[in-house]
Amino acid sequence: MKGIFPIEKFRNLQTPFYYYDTDLLRNTLNVINREAERYENFQVHYAVKANANAKILAVIRDSGMGADCVSGGEIRAALQAGFPAGKIVYAGVGKADWEIELGLDNDILCFNVESVPELEVINALAAAKGKVARVAFRINPNVGAHTHAHITTGLAENKFGISMDDMDRVIDLALGMSNVRFIGLHFHIGSQILDMGDFAALCNRINELQARLAARRILVEHINVGGGLGIDYQHPNRQPVPDFAAYFACYHKHLRRYGQQTIHFELGRSIVGQCGSLITQVLYVKQGTHKQFAIVDAGMTDLIRPALYQAYHKIENLTSERPVETYDVVGPICESSDVFGKAVDLNGVTRHDLLALRSAGAYGEIMASGYNCRALPQGYTSDELRD
């Protein structure tokens, strides 16, 4: 849908760059808040790893959401964007001492702990500061998600989290420590999940674990179910806002809650994925023996998902109404995997045409690199291009 892009403004910008439709982002945030507020004590945290562009973080902060961080750098970005420290949760299998200390110094809401050694370090660092750290334990529920193997995180053999068999022992360790306070359980089974049955299966496993704790008279005040809701990469215009109503209703229906438990969600891709596009310019059209190539100035350094995950992004020619032809759309990087799409049907391509790689708001700009000594892509919002 070419009408959603300010093409004349694009011509004055250096390609490649990211473009974010902040109207769509705000609409998405409004839908999330409306649907989450239907249920008592549902709290949403934005997964900063999806996109940490400062302008995007500011819009999300204004919605009132918290922040889910997986590094000290992300904690800093969230704080600089104005997220309250009391709404920041911090996960990650390899938290460095300085990152833990940053969380302690700012009194963040919770550390999602993934191993016994990490728990011991947090307790020691908190003791040195005379603080008590709130902790939740990330438990591997051994629930498989219908998604790519590289973004499935809830199986027993993943590097993340603590096994179900070890849960009671680790909780007992925490209860015996003076400088941590056990407040909850944390789960995350993967990303780009479209089958609500996967989330229902997670709820069933959480119910089992909570029943086990309840039998020991251990009640958990904080249940963090992670995120993982996917988006429609094939048809970004058909459903630009994911089905958050079904997502939250699934947890309301299947998750057994004890008392006034708070249920925390960590949504990333489903918030920002559809609002972003990578805009790139055609450098050359190359005729091969059996195919033709549209060679563009964006590469895997700007959007690595197709090379890393064989991910699909819908590609549109924004500046052509010529008859449709078929192209392999490739970048300039010296790697054979620098391909955005093979056998892509596009309105006839010529040099200087502008192409949009859609649904690139999540894990796009944030994963860009300087390989081949390339400059990082800039990010622009619809707000600033209207000015």
The three state secondary structure string of the chain is CHHHCCHHHHCCCCCCEEEECHHHHHHHHHHHHHHHCCCCCEEEEEEHHHCCCHHHHHHHHHCCCEEEECCHHHHHHHHHCCCCHHHEEECCCCCCHHHHHHHHHCCCCEEEECCHHHHHHHHHHHHHHCCCEEEEEEEECCCCCCCCHHHECCCCCCCCCEEHHHHHHHHHHHHCCCCEEEEEEECCCECCECCHHHHHHHHHHHHHHHHHHHCCCCCCCEEECCCCECCCCCCCCCCCCCCHHHHHHHHHHHCCCCCCCEEEEEECHHHHHHHEEEEEEEEEEEECCCCEEEEECCCCCCCCHHHHHCCCCCEEECCCCCCEEEEEEECCCCCCCCEEEEEEEEECCCCCCEEEECCCCCCCHHHCCCHHHCCCCEEEEHHHHHC
Q: Are residues 173 and 321 in the same domain?
A: no
Whole-angstrom distance, CA of residue 376 vs CA of residue 302 = 7
- Give pLDDT, residue 151: 40
Judge whether 242 and 319 are in contact, CB under 8 Å.
Answer: no
- The 8 Å CB, 24+ separation contacts for 31-39 are 31/241, 31/244, 32/63, 32/65, 32/244, 32/267, 32/271, 33/63, 33/64, 35/244, 35/245, 35/247, 35/248, 36/244, 36/248, 36/265, 38/248, 38/252, 39/248, 39/251, 39/252, 39/263
Q: How far is CA 118 from the centre of its chain?
A: 24
Instruction: Provide the pLDDT for residue 145.
Output: 53
Other CB atoms within 10 Å distance of the CB of residue 216: 10
- In this structure, how many other beta carbons lie within 10 angstroms of the beta carbon of residue 150? 12
Q: Where is the domain boundary, 255, 273, 291?
A: 273
pLDDT of residue 160: 77
> Are residues 279 and 253 both part of a single domain?
no
Are 242 and 302 in a shared domain? Answer: no
CATH code at 338?
2.40.37.10
Give the residues across from 66 on adjacent strands: 45
Same structural domain, 180 and 326? no
Query: pLDDT (tens digit, 0 to 9) for every residue of the chain, 387 residues total?
Result: 566 899 999 999 999 999 999 999 999 999 999 999 999 999 999 999 999 999 999 999 999 999 999 999 999 999 999 999 999 999 999 999 999 999 999 999 999 999 999 999 999 999 999 999 999 999 999 876 544 444 444 444 556 789 999 999 999 999 999 999 999 999 999 999 999 999 999 999 999 999 999 999 999 999 999 999 999 999 999 999 999 999 999 999 999 999 899 999 999 999 999 999 999 999 999 998 999 999 999 999 999 999 999 999 999 999 999 999 999 999 999 999 999 999 999 999 999 999 999 999 999 999 999 999 999 999 999 999 986
The Cα–Cα gap between 210 and 256 comes to 9
Write the CB contacts of 78 (distance below 8 Å, at least 6 apart in sequence): 48, 57, 67, 69, 88
- Cis bond before residue 84 (omega within 30° of 0): no
**13 found inside a domain:** no
Backbone φ, ψ for residue 313 (5° rounding): -130, 130
pLDDT at 144: 60
* Predicted pLDDT at 143: 78
51 with 185, same domain: the answer is: yes
Are 197 and 307 in the same domain? no
In one-letter notation, the amino acid at residue 266 is E
Does 7 map to a domain? Answer: no
**CB 36, CB 262: distance < 8 Å:** no
Measure the CA–CA gap between 293 and 349, rounded to whole angstroms.
Answer: 10
Residue where one domain finishes, among candidates 273, 296, 317: 273
User: What is the number of domains present in the chain?
Assistant: 2
Residue that finishes a domain, picked among 273, 305, 330: 273
Domain range enclosing 329: 274-386
**Closest by Cα among 266, 333, 334, 343 to 312:** 343
The CATH number of the domain holding residue 99 is 3.20.20.10
215 shares its domain with 307? no
Which one, of 7, 241, 260, 262, lies nearest residue 109 by Cα?
262
